[in-house]
Amino acid sequence: MQRIFFLLSFFVSVSALAQPAQNLILVTLDGVRWQEIFNGADSTLLFDPVYSRDTASARKQFWAATPTERRKLFMPFLWNTIGQQGQLYGNRQQGSRINVSNPHWFSYPGYNEILSGYADDRIKSNDKIDNPNVTVLEFLNQQPGYAGKVAVFSSWDVIEAAVNEKRSGIPASSANEASQPVTGADSLLSDMTTLYPREFGDGVRADFLTYFSARQYIKEKQPRVLFLSFDETDDLAHAGRYLDHLRMVQSIDRYLADLWQMIQRMPQYAGKTSIVITTDHGRGHTPKARWKDHGTKTVDSYQIWMAAMGPGIRATGEQGSGPVLFQNQIAATLARLLGFTFTSDHPVGPPIDTIGSDKR
Ligand SMILES: [Zn+2]
């Protein structure tokens, strides 16, 4: 009996991997540190009135005695769902490391590296310049069954250039671009996008509008590949608003819980969709070590994290020590989750061998 059970469970786990995902959702949270992902709120920032305008409510909302309690309080979907059913990389205290390989440690070089699998010397500013590299999204959009089924929703307008909307033909809704309404809900979203108070200028759309616009698109068009790119987390950190930064990350955790629940009720997605969540760069360790910032002057801001869940991803939870992983491996990993090998004119980092393969 014991042996039969063992063979059966072995068969089930192998066949789950043999069947790649049919759909993929890539999510990025700009400039969110691994420190908060794995430890929850950081006391050096949370209880400093310069960074946290209301330390009493900050304590109530985000503080608990242990890092494990704090991180669950901070991101319940990440820890209660992905932590149980998926994988999390980047807790350096456990020996799991993932780094950017580009030498800049800021946004566009990071997004290019995530999307093209290549730290390209030509991408060395945040200027909105069309990406010369073919991204994994453009590659997937050329595969049978995926043409016209790839979509991008971003809060930051430079993402349109990072995915080279013009060349790739992938629709990229970004910043405060009003959409062409089809339904009443579209029309409301379009009006809200035009009229809401903009906190971070015209180049940034509020993350909640990015989320609801993407959600509406999923309901209407059912893309097979979606890149959902949030931004306000980084703007709030640069502004030194730690409490607001945490609240924004927590809101995004709620959006992801809502998204996951919704797609599990849709036949196209239920049980056939993998999700990968990551960030473009890290930030400094403490207020004095430039927490507000990132880039080469900010120690260790090359350190990132990644979470993944869905078909092809074993439920091994938080990862321990292993080889150092790099941001340039994410693109090929995304392709492999859908059963493809991502190749391009430029060099591409190898897929992470514990995702979408039989290795653990
Ligand atoms: Zn930044």
Domains detected in the chain? 2-337 (3.40.720.10)
What are the residues whose beta carbon lies below 5 Å from ligand 1 (ion)?
Answer: 31, 234
C-alpha of residue 111 to centroid of ligand 1, in Å: 12
C-alpha of residue 258 to centroid of ligand 1, in Å: 27
Tokens representing residue 302 in the block: 């090359």
CA 36/CA 237 separation, integer angstroms = 13
Number of H-type helices and E-type strands within the chain: 16, 11
C-alpha of residue 240 to centroid of ligand 1, in Å: 12
CA 324/CA 303 separation, integer angstroms = 11
C-alpha of residue 241 to centroid of ligand 1, in Å: 13
C-alpha of residue 280 to centroid of ligand 1, in Å: 9
pLDDT in tens, the chain (360 residues): 445 444 444 444 444 455 799 999 999 999 999 999 999 999 999 999 999 999 999 999 999 999 999 999 999 999 999 999 999 999 999 999 999 999 999 999 999 999 999 999 999 999 999 999 999 999 999 999 999 999 999 999 999 999 999 999 999 998 877 777 888 898 999 999 999 999 999 899 999 999 999 999 999 999 999 999 999 999 999 999 999 999 999 999 999 999 999 999 999 999 999 999 999 999 999 999 999 999 999 999 999 999 999 999 999 999 999 999 999 999 999 999 999 999 999 999 999 999 987 654
C-alpha of residue 108 to centroid of ligand 1, in Å: 10
Q: Provide the angle, in degrees to the nearest 10, between the axes of the packed helices 242-263 and 207-221.
A: 10
C-alpha of residue 31 to centroid of ligand 1, in Å: 6
C-alpha of residue 106 to centroid of ligand 1, in Å: 6
CB 330 within 8 A of CB 101: no
C-alpha of residue 21 to centroid of ligand 1, in Å: 32
C-alpha of residue 298 to centroid of ligand 1, in Å: 11
C-alpha of residue 202 to centroid of ligand 1, in Å: 16
Q: Specify the residue for token string 């979606």.
A: 226
C-alpha of residue 297 to centroid of ligand 1, in Å: 13
Q: How far is CA 61 from CA 64, 107, 203, 241, in A?
A: 9, 29, 30, 15
C-alpha of residue 146 to centroid of ligand 1, in Å: 33
C-alpha of residue 82 to centroid of ligand 1, in Å: 26
> Which amino acid, residue 190?
S
The percentage of residues in the chain with a pLDDT greater than 90, rounded to a whole number, is 89
C-alpha of residue 180 to centroid of ligand 1, in Å: 31
CA 157/CA 153 separation, integer angstroms = 10
